Amino acid sequence: MAASLSFSGSARLLAALGRSSVLHSSFESRGLHVTAVCFKNRAARIRIGKGDQPLTYEQAHHPHQIAHRKGWLSQHASNLKGEGGAAERTMEDVFIRKFMFGTFHGCLADEVVIKRRGNALIVCALMLQKMPPQKFYFLIGYSESLLSHFYKCPVKLEIQTLQSKAVYKYI
């Protein structure tokens, strides 16, 4: 298919392949790959580097580890069988994540976790101690009241602060 071998004699190629299949353990034989380019998965993965980039637990694990080593960042019942409203919940989640990123700029230590219990929206976040606590309390109250007016449901913020980001490994 994609392999265009320009040397003459398909017989020579067949002979070479025959030799490689019989003497595959010999140092003279070589495997020949004749497929199209196979795409590696790149979703939500940080590629391996020199060893100086710190990663949190969330960033270090790939998406296929969800429900094994990772949990869920957004917990609601719309994706269950027989339940509706998944698109609306997803839009709300996207807006809330952007809002939190903008309001607490530079203070977020890890991804925001969004939980829905009944009518209430609970936004959980880990923050770095970049601002004095009074500013934090003001921003928490501001976000809670603004989001609850916007989404017409009680919105609660659960914030926990850290000195610095929790590093899981260096990549």
Partner 1 sequence: MAAPLVLRRDLFSFARILGGISQLGPRCLSACSSHNWKCNQTRFQPLQTSSTFFHTATYLSSTPSSITVTDEPDTLFQKVVVLVKAHDRAVLDSYEFFATMAAKELGIAMGKVFEPPKDIERLTLLKSVHIYKKHRVQYEMRTHYRCIELLHITGSTAQVYLEYIQRNLPEGVAMEVTKVTKRTRTATFMENVKNSRMKLNFLLCSHL
Binding site for partner 1 (CB under 8 A): 36, 38-39, 41, 43, 67, 72, 75-77, 79-83, 115-118, 120, 122, 129, 132-134, 136-137, 140-141, 156-161, 163
CB of 103 to partner 1, least distance (A): 15
Distance CA 102, CA 83 (A): 32
CB of 96 to partner 1, least distance (A): 14
**Which CB atom, from 156 or from 165, has the smaller least distance to partner 1?**
156
**Which CB atom, from 60 or from 89, has the smaller least distance to partner 1?**
89
CB of 110 to partner 1, least distance (A): 14
**Which CB atom, from 19 or from 45, has the smaller least distance to partner 1?**
45
CB of 153 to partner 1, least distance (A): 12
**Which CB atom, from 112 or from 140, has the smaller least distance to partner 1?**
140
* The two structure tokens encoding residue 73: 């960042």
Distance CA 153, CA 120 (A): 6
In degrees to the nearest 10, what's the CA dihedral of 86, 91, 97, 99? -150
CB of 28 to partner 1, least distance (A): 34
**Which CB atom, from 15 or from 158, has the smaller least distance to partner 1?**
158
Distance CA 124, CA 136 (A): 14
DSSP string, 42-110: -TT-PPP-SS--EE-HHHHS-GGGBTTTB--SEE-STTSTT---HHHHHHHHHHHHHHHHHHTTTTB-S
